[in-house]
Amino acid sequence: MWIMQNNAFLSIVKPGPRDPNRAGNLLVRARVRGHIEAVFPKAVVQEVPGRDYQFRAYLPTEQVGMAIAMNIEAIDYGNFKSSVKNPALHDAYACVWGVMAQEQEIPPYETAPRKRRRFAVDPRNPYVNDARG
């Protein structure tokens, strides 16, 4: 699951079947230093160069759920992208917004269905068919 908060982008998954940290935990991953700690201040974060997500922490499933729920309850903005203060994170989210907007049957701010339902995939993007997550 991807979680996009106004101060952190996280990927949350179940640890692999042979992972010794699997029992009762989720693996919280981030691409940017500090994003895990922004949501989980007491997390012990590992830096793992050479992986798809450089920063990782094993956290109890219940703790992850409670933190995400608290962040949902704390929403006080009417526009998510405008609530993102970090310019690089804002721009990344704007790109995701644009790509996902292309999946919408009727484009944002228009009234007629689009003729093409899916965005064009750039064949030069090395990550398009990457199933590693």
Higher pLDDT, 6 or 101: 6
- Domain around 69: 2-77
The answer to the question of residue 133 being in a domain is no
The answer to the question of residue 66 being in a domain is yes
The answer to the question of residue 86 being in a domain is no
The answer to the question of residue 87 being in a domain is no
What are the φ/ψ torsions at residue 97 (nearest 5 degrees)?
-55, -45
**HSE-up of 6 (CA within 13 Å, CB side)?**
14
> Residue 116: what pLDDT?
67
pLDDT tens digits, residue range 34-53?
999 999 999 999 999 999 99
The answer to the question of residue 113 being in a domain is no
Q: How confident is the model at residue 130 (pLDDT cuts 50, 70, 90)?
A: low
The answer to the question of residue 40 being in a domain is yes
> Residue 103: what pLDDT?
81
The answer to the question of residue 116 being in a domain is no
- Calculate the alpha carbon distances from 58 to 28, 54, 63, 64, 88 in Å: 6, 14, 10, 10, 26
Smallest Cα–Cα separation from 45: which of 8, 75, 16, 71? 8
Number of separate domains in the chain: 1
Higher pLDDT, 101 or 118: 101
The answer to the question of residue 39 being in a domain is yes
Predicted TM-score of the model (pTM)? 0.85
